[in-house]
Structure 1
Amino acid sequence: MTIWNLGSINVDIVFAVPHILAPGETLASTGRQVFLGGKGANMSVAAARAAARVNHIGAVGHDGKWAAERLLEYGVDTRNIALLDTDTAQAIIMVDPDGENAIILHPGANVEIPQASLQTAMAEAETGDWLVIQNETNLQRTAASLGKKMGLKVAYAAAPFDAERVMAVLPHLDFLILNAVEAEQLAVATGKSPADLPVRDIIVTLGADGADWYGLNGKQHFDAIDVDPVDTTGAGDTFTGYVLAGLDRGMTMEDAINQATKASALMVTRHGTADVIPDLSEVLAFTP
């Protein structure tokens, strides 16, 4: 089957800093690197490296043609990435010595994805394929509704969190993934805990505390793997991409989560985003 990802594509400019910048503070960085990034691109690369067939639906400006080309190099189908007369999205990322980060995002082409790109992609989709959306692009509600009507399994990473957007797509979802803070925000917006939401499978990621899966048999907890983190950027996206790839390949949710936990543990030991996501052979060889 295929994972269709309506997802963001960013140029990630990562600055190593002694600490996360405070309001009014000027701070010299100790390093600077440029990576392919964006939640969507990260998920596409992670799923492709986890041996899934991935088709990315998105947009870049002329300054970001290299980003689409790099996705192709990483095994992602890029035919539905539009080239627009606008800026490619950028993320300015600060990372401190403990691996914590702060991010400024310029959305650029990510919020101008043409509806024609989505429609062209969906014309090739088949019943049983996965459709993945998240909050760094436009067209989420349109995509979720269309995907559900076509018999696709619809997955949603609710980040960056926006209560209205979540509520708009909730009726169409088969799978929802969000972190603990986002789960709290959603509970406030809906008055419901994850266990009470009308979605078949929900995963709440808990950082160093692991993840909780809410499925048909109730809540199940999965422990994180203890590693020394150097950069947490992209770890959640890596986890999501690996879970979806596992499910697409017929794994049980438990096995998909356990494999994704290993992938995200490896990810936080590396500096960077999409370019350093571990491939399946590394994950299978990883012995915590």
Structure 2
Amino acid sequence: MTIFNLGSINVDYVYRVSHLPGAGETLAAHSLQTGLGGKGANMSVAAARAGSHVAHIGAVGPDGIWARDRLMEYGVDTRHIAQIDVPTGHAIINVDDAGENAITLFSGANQSIAQSAIGAALSAGSVGDILVMQNETNGQEYLAKTGSNLKFRVCYAAAPFDAKAVKSVLPYLDFLILNEVEANQLTRALGVEIGALKVADIIVTLGSKGARWINAGAGVDQHFDALSVTPVDTTGAGDTFTGYVLSGLDRGLSMGQSISLAMRAAALMVTRMGAADVIPDLKEVEAFAGL
């Protein structure tokens, strides 16, 4: 089976700071690290390192060929990543001494993915393949509707949160993943509790408090505890979690097993500085979890 990911590809500029800067504040950084990032790229790398075949659908500019090449080095199928005449997306990430971050995004090529390229990629899929997207690219509604019609398992990671974007894809979703803040925002926007949404499976990530899985049809509302670790950098932890959950499902694990594995992958991830370049592979996660 294949996980198709319509996902962002960014160059990450990570600045280590003593605290996150406030309005009007000029703050000297301790260090600068440049690497591969973007929610889409992070999820693709995580799912590939967890053992799945991942086909990434996206775009980079002439300045981002190295990012596409690095995805391929990390085991991602890059045949559906186009090179276009638009600058590659990038992110400016401030990370403080407690491991918390603040991120500024420039979308660039991520918002210029051709609909024809999306359709061509999905034509290579099969019934039961997994489809995932985030809110960092164009083409989400087309992808969700097309994937649903092709009987893919359609998943949406609702970040960065935008109520309009979620509403446009909600009718086609089989699986929704969002964090606690995003879940509260969606509840306010729709006037409906998360558990009442007509989506088969919903996961709400809760940071250090773990995660919640809801499957209303099966009467499931289950909490999963997080592992206790000392965070160094929380960048990419949620994306790592998502990639590992989807890979677990792709490889035939139950939802509960997939979430438990993903919790361990995310816990290991926050002990590392960086994003896609430092996402742990399956052997590392299993060793870390004592499996």
State the secondary structure of the residue aligned to 2:213: strand
Q: Deviations for 1:151-202, whole angstroms, at most 9, x for unmatched residues?
A: 1000000000000110110010000000001000100111111110000000
Amino acid at match of 1:137: T
Query: TM-score when scaled to structure 1?
Result: 0.99
Amino acid at match of 2:44: S
Separation in 2, partners of 1:120, 1:45 = 22
Query: Identity across aligned pairs (percent)?
Result: 61
Map 1:139-218 onto structure 2 (within 5 A). Answer: 139-215=139-215, 216-218=218-220
Query: Are the counterparts in 2 of residues 195 and 218 from structure 1 also a CA contact under 8 Å?
Result: no
Q: Deviations for 1:36-72, whole angstroms, at most 9, x for unmatched residues?
A: 0000000000000000000000000000000000000
Q: Deviations for 1:93-149, whole angstroms, at most 9, x for unmatched residues?
A: 000000000000000000001112101101101000001011000000000000000
CA drift of 1:287 comes to 3.4
Could you tell me which residue of structure 2 aligns to residue 252 of structure 1? Answer: 254
Separation in 2, partners of 1:245, 1:194 = 24
Separation in 2, partners of 1:287, 1:205 = 19
Separation in 1, partners of 2:194, 2:221 = 9
Separation in 2, partners of 1:97, 1:62 = 35
1:66 aligns with 2:100: no
Separation in 2, partners of 1:285, 1:161 = 34
Map 1:1-288 onto structure 2 (within 5 A). Answer: 1-215=1-215, 216-287=218-289
Query: Are the counterparts in 2 of residues 58 and 82 from structure 1 also a CA contact under 8 Å?
Result: yes
Q: Deviations for 1:242-286, whole angstroms, at most 9, x for unmatched residues?
A: 000000111000000000000000000000000000000001111
CA drift of 1:212 comes to 0.3
Let me know the Cα RMSD of the aligned residues.
0.7
State the secondary structure of the residue aligned to 2:126: coil
State the secondary structure of the residue aligned to 1:198: coil
Query: Following superposition, which runs of at least 4 residues in structure 1 exceed 6 angstroms of deviation?
Result: none
Q: How many aligned residue pairs are there?
A: 288
Separation in 1, partners of 2:69, 2:36 = 10
Separation in 2, partners of 1:18, 1:164 = 35
State the secondary structure of the residue aligned to 2:170: helix
Separation in 1, partners of 2:183, 2:60 = 31
Separation in 1, partners of 2:117, 2:107 = 18
State the secondary structure of the residue aligned to 2:289: coil
Query: TM-score when scaled to structure 2?
Result: 0.98
Separation in 1, partners of 2:117, 2:269 = 31
Query: Are the counterparts in 2 of residues 94 and 102 from structure 1 also a CA contact under 8 Å?
Result: yes
Separation in 1, partners of 2:133, 2:143 = 8
Separation in 1, partners of 2:130, 2:210 = 24
Separation in 1, partners of 2:191, 2:22 = 34
Query: Are the counterparts in 2 of residues 15 and 95 from structure 1 also a CA contact under 8 Å?
Result: yes
Amino acid at match of 2:95: V
Separation in 1, partners of 2:78, 2:262 = 24
Gaps of at least 5 residues in structure 2 are: none
Gaps of at least 5 residues in structure 1 are: none
